[in-house]
Amino acid sequence: MNGVEVAPKNPSGLLCYMRSHTWLVVLSIFLMLLVWQLVAWFGGFPAFILPSPAMVGARFMLAIRDGSLLRNTAVTLGEVLAGLVLGVSVASVLGYLLARSLKLERLLSPYIVASQSIPIVAIAPLLVIWFGPGLFSKVLVCALIVFFPVLVNTVVGVRSVPEDLRDLMRSLQATRWQTLRYLELPAALPVFLGGLRIGATLSVIGAVVGEFVGAKSGLGFLVNVGRGVYDTSLVFVAVFTLIALALILYGSVALVEKRLLDWQKQPEIKVLMNGEAQAKAG
d(CA 232, CA 252): 30
d(CA 125, CA 127): 5
Q: How confident is the model at residue 2 (pLDDT cuts 50, 70, 90)?
A: very low
* Single pTM value for the model: 0.77
Q: Which residue has the higher pLDDT, 16 or 162?
A: 162
What does the pLDDT read at residue 263? Answer: 62
Answer yes or no: is pLDDT of 6 > 60.
Answer: no
Cβ atoms of residues 79 and 142 within 8 Å: yes
d(CA 138, CA 135): 5
What does the pLDDT read at residue 242? Answer: 93
Cβ atoms of residues 245 and 77 within 8 Å: yes
- pLDDT tens per residue, range 252-263: 888 888 887 776
Cβ atoms of residues 254 and 197 within 8 Å: yes
Total residues belonging to the chain: 282
- Closest by Cα among 148, 82, 122 to 209: 122
Measured at the CA of 26, the angle between CA 25 and CA 29, to 5 degrees, comes to: 85
HEC string of 241-268 equals HHHHHHHHHHHHHHHHHHHHCHHHHCCH
Residue 44 DSSP symbol: -
Q: What would the mean pLDDT of 121-141 be, rounded to a whole number?
A: 85
- pLDDT tens per residue, range 189-243: 888 888 888 888 888 988 888 888 877 888 888 998 888 888 889 999 999 999 9
What does the pLDDT read at residue 13? Answer: 47
Answer yes or no: is pLDDT of 98 > 80.
Answer: yes
What does the pLDDT read at residue 14? Answer: 44
Other beta carbons within 10 Å of 249: 22
Answer yes or no: is pLDDT of 12 > 80.
Answer: no
Q: How confident is the model at residue 19 (pLDDT cuts 50, 70, 90)?
A: low
Q: Residue 136 phi/psi, 5° resolution?
A: -60, -40
- Closest by Cα among 63, 80, 57, 66 to 222: 63
Answer yes or no: is pLDDT of 21 > 80.
Answer: no
Helices (H), 118-230: 120-131, 135-159, 163-171, 176-179, 185-213, 219-228
What does the pLDDT read at residue 89? Answer: 93
Answer yes or no: is pLDDT of 125 > 60.
Answer: yes
- pLDDT tens per residue, range 25-73: 777 788 888 888 888 788 777 778 888 888 888 899 999 998 889 999 9
Question: Phi-psi category of 6—alpha, beta or left, where left has phi over 0 and alpha has psi -120 to 50?
Answer: beta
d(CA 141, CA 230): 28
Answer yes or no: is pLDDT of 276 > 80.
Answer: no
Cβ atoms of residues 97 and 104 within 8 Å: yes
- pLDDT tens per residue, range 99-119: 888 888 888 888 888 877 888
Answer yes or no: is pLDDT of 18 > 50.
Answer: no
